[in-house]
């Protein structure tokens, strides 16, 4: 039997990596020859988690070959997926995002729910199908939920995420809040990254009405730490804009302690961001967004609707 | 609370109508103010079923208004959906087709599996969530499965459809084969339809690579009965081609007894159908397709791939 590749989005975050690994476990339970892979480098947070659990990182792949069977987790949009996906056969998708630029020739398994985290959907599958959850699998799912919901504080967090979090905390026999804070803090250490790397740690590309935009996000315990590097970050963003012919590049710097964000916004069409939030970009190319922590729920929808 | 409208595709078939009604029951179980509606006239088969069960047909709607909350069943493609769908808020989709020209701004519930019938997915939800299935609901789902799988004989029929069929047969306390044959035969009575009506009973529009095509299907107990009206059917098809600027119009006439089809194929780009099946269209604009009964599995994919 051909091997099925399972992966999350480009610039993988913790949910993309952990949910790929957990989906591999699920797929193997059903007798599939499956392998979790990744489309980019691990971020510091995910590195911390895998080290902590003694789990090996999935193999990195560049593109897929003709006819490759794949399962997508935590994404569906073409721009966020593997290079060459149009040649692959998508067997299934497990996701919690909007659906866009996704198209197949044949029927497939597609499971999406508007939850805070892909791993919450996976948790439901384990429960429903009565599959035992071992400690390591519980920790992977718990880590993904902590990451995507910022310890249940993000507005994307649903009751279902909270339920899964509590249950997984019990199975993993861990203090989720203590572990979660360590994990999130590990992810905010940007000191070893170049500006190019920082803006690409968790960058998602969107296409809408012929416009191409990137909304990137980094977490921090102190917004000023990141803005101390504003000039080099802006320089790296301008380079991406010109290399990838982008209309807008927005970098969300999210304070995970106080749950606010400050964004750097560049690009010829950046007034779309001003319209979306009814707020001016200041002379420092920046915009403070009170209470905003979720790209998926609070940032992408108003911008895409304004377009 | 706003009402949620639930509907299947245009030119609704039995699965689209029955699955809408069953989804209404499910939605109400979860406290939603939901109403099954339909996008077109009932066919003879569905009429037979609703009469037999004493169930009222869903209300017919033309288009939806700005912000209308909707749940789609048995379809997702824009061309097959309600007029004005771009203005609606799609809360959920339950489907068993490929995904194409479907896009949302926000995350949603999406459940698709490559089964023979939408109602088989609905049956799984009832089972999983431990919701009691009353006799009438069982008959609606059973009817949809019989219709979509031609009494389990279609190549689209999966083990899951067969399981649901047997279980629903028990709940409904009916001889599914006897009932099913009556039901399918009721659907083959085309005598009261004009040629325009026949070609629109179950017509699906596809867009691919800038080409627009319609693949329509009618069931019959005798292919010759339908081909006796070939000239008037072809005339009606030519009119649709010119009115809707179609590149291909294909009418599949499917023999539900011997499980074969004969197609009438018209339109400037009809050689795409010849290429897809590696077979010539004869001087009567026709092509016999041995063993072909499923538009979704045996007809649409080879044509879309050839495009």
Write the CATH number for B70: 3.90.1640.10
Other CB atoms within 10 Å distance of the CB of residue B158: 18
Domain final residue, candidates B165, B185, B205:
B185
Is the CB of B97 inside 8 Å of chain A's CB atoms? yes
Predicted pLDDT of residue B2: 80
Long-range CB contacts for residues B194-199, cutoff 8 Å, separation at least 24: B194/B236, B195/B229, B195/B232, B195/B233, B195/B235, B195/B236, B196/B236, B196/B239, B198/B226, B198/B229, B198/B233, B198/B236, B199/B233, B199/B236, B199/B237, B199/B240, B199/B249, B199/B251
B190 domain residue, yes or no? no
Residue B93: C-alpha distances to residues B77, B112, B118 (Å)? 11, 8, 10
pLDDT tier at A191, thresholds 50, 70, 90: confident
CA distance B82 to chain A (A): 18
Contact by Cβ (8 Å): A82, A90: no
Best of B107, B207, B299 to substitute, by most chain A Cβ atoms within 10 angstroms, is B107
- What average pLDDT is seen over chain B? 95
Query: Has residue B1 got a pLDDT over 60?
Result: no
Other CB atoms within 10 Å distance of the CB of residue B62: 9
- Is the pTM higher than 0.95? The answer reads no
B86 domain residue, yes or no? yes
Is the CB of B132 inside 8 Å of chain A's CB atoms? no
Predicted pLDDT of residue B195: 96
Best of B112, B206, B306, B307 to substitute, by most chain A Cβ atoms within 10 angstroms, is B112
Q: What is the pLDDT of residues A141-164, one digit of tens each?
A: 999 999 999 999 999 999 999 999
A128 chain-B contacts, CB cut-off 8 A: 128
B255 domain residue, yes or no? yes
Q: How far apart are CA B282 and CA B279, in angstroms?
A: 9
Predicted pLDDT of residue A258: 87
Q: Are residues A118 and A179 in the same domain?
A: yes
Point out the residue among B108, B112, B301 whose CB comes nearest to the CB of A109: B112
Q: How far apart are CA B28 and CA A65, in angstroms?
A: 45
DSSP string, chain A: -PPEEEE--SS--HHHHHHHHHHHHHHHHTT--EEEEESSPPPHHHHHHHHHHTPPPPEE--B--TT-EEEEES---GGGS-BTGGGSEEEEEEE-S---S---SS--EEEE---S-HHHHHHHHHHHTT----HHHHHHHHHHHHHHHTTTTSTT--HHHHHHHHHHHHHHTS-HHHHHHHHHHHHT--TTS-HHHHHHTTEEEEEETTEEEEEEEEEES-HHHHHTTHHHHHHHHHHHHHHTT-SEEEEEEEETTTTEEEEEEESTTTHHHHHHHT----TTSEEEETT---IIIIIHHHHHHH-
Q: Are residues A36 and A115 in the same domain?
A: yes
Per DSSP, B63 falls in state: B
Is the CB of A103 inside 8 Å of chain B's CB atoms? yes
pLDDT tier at B109, thresholds 50, 70, 90: very high
Q: Are residues B19 and B142 in the same domain?
A: yes
**Total domain count, chain A:** 2
Q: Are residues A107 and A175 in the same domain?
A: yes
Domain assignment of residue B211, given as a range: 195-306
Is the CB of B103 inside 8 Å of chain A's CB atoms? yes
Is the CB of B113 inside 8 Å of chain A's CB atoms? yes
Q: Which residues, 6+ apart, have CB-to-CB distance to A42 below 8 Å?
A: A12, A17, A50, A57
Q: What is the pLDDT of residues B241-273, one digit of tens each?
A: 999 999 999 999 999 888 899 999 999 999 999
Query: Has residue B105 got a pLDDT over 60?
Result: yes
Q: What is the pLDDT of residues A11-68, one digit of tens each?
A: 999 999 999 999 999 999 999 999 999 999 999 999 999 999 999 999 999 999 999 9
Domain final residue, candidates B129, B150, B185:
B185
Predicted pLDDT of residue B288: 97
Q: Are residues A18 and A137 in the same domain?
A: yes
Of chain B, the end-to-end C-alpha distance in Å amounts to 45
Q: How far apart are CA B38 and CA B97, in angstroms?
A: 19
Q: Are residues B208 and B169 in the same domain?
A: no
Predicted pLDDT of residue A102: 95
Predicted pLDDT of residue B217: 95
Domain final residue, candidates B154, B185, B216:
B185
Query: Has residue B73 got a pLDDT over 90?
Result: yes
Q: Are residues B176 and B105 in the same domain?
A: yes
Per DSSP, B284 falls in state: T
Q: Are residues A250 and A177 in the same domain?
A: no
Q: Are residues B179 and B215 in the same domain?
A: no
If you average pLDDT over residues B92-113, what whole number do you get? 95
Point out the residue among B105, B112, B305 whose CB comes nearest to the CB of A98: B105
Q: How far apart are CA A252 and CA A11, in angstroms?
A: 15
A243 domain residue, yes or no? yes
Q: What is the pLDDT of residues A94-142, one digit of tens each?
A: 999 999 999 998 899 999 999 999 999 999 999 999 999 999 999 999 9
For B111, name the nearest residue in chain A, comparing CA atoms only: A111
Strand partners, B35: B5
Query: Has residue B275 got a pLDDT over 70?
Result: yes
Q: Do A112 and B113 touch (CB under 8 A)?
A: no
Predicted pLDDT of residue B209: 87
């Amino acid at each position: 039997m051909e091997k099925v590749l399972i992966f999350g989005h480009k610039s993988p975050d913790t949910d993309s990596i952990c949910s790929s690994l957990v989906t591999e476990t699920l797929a193997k339970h059903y007798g599939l020859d499956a392998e979790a892979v990744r489309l980019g480098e691990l971020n510091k947070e995910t590195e911390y988690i895998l080290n902590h659990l003694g789990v090996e990182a999935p193999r990195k792949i560049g593109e897929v070959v003709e006819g490759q069977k794949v399962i997508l987790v935590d994404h569906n949009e073409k721009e966020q997926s593997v290079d060459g996906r149009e040649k692959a056969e998508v067997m299934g998708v497990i996701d919690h995002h909007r659906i866009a630029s996704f198209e197949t020739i044949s029927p497939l398994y597609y499971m999406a729910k508007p939850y805070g985290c892909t791993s919450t959907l996976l948790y439901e599958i384990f429960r429903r199908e009565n599959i035992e959850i071992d400690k390591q699998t519980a920790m992977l799912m718990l880590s993904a939920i902590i990451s995507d919901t910022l310890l249940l504080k993000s507005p994307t967090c649903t009751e279902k995420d909270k339920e899964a979090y509590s249950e997984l905390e019990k199975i993993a026999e861990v203090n989720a809040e203590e572990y979660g804070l360590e994990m999130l803090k590990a992810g905010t250490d940007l000191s070893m990254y170049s500006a190019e790397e920082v803006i690409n740690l968790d960058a998602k590309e969107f296409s809408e009405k012929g416009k191409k935009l990137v909304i990137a996000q980094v977490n921090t315990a102190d917004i000023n730490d990141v803005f101390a590097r504003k000039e080099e970050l802006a320089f790296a963003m301008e380079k991406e804009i010109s290399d990838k012919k982008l209309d807008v590049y927005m970098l969300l710097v999210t304070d995970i302690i106080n749950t606010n964000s400050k964004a750097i916004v560049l690009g010829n069409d950046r007034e779309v961001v001003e319209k979306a939030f009814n707020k001016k970009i200041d002379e420092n190319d920046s915009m403070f967004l009170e209470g905003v922590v979720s790209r998926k729920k609070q940032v992408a929808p108003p911008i895409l609707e304004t377009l």
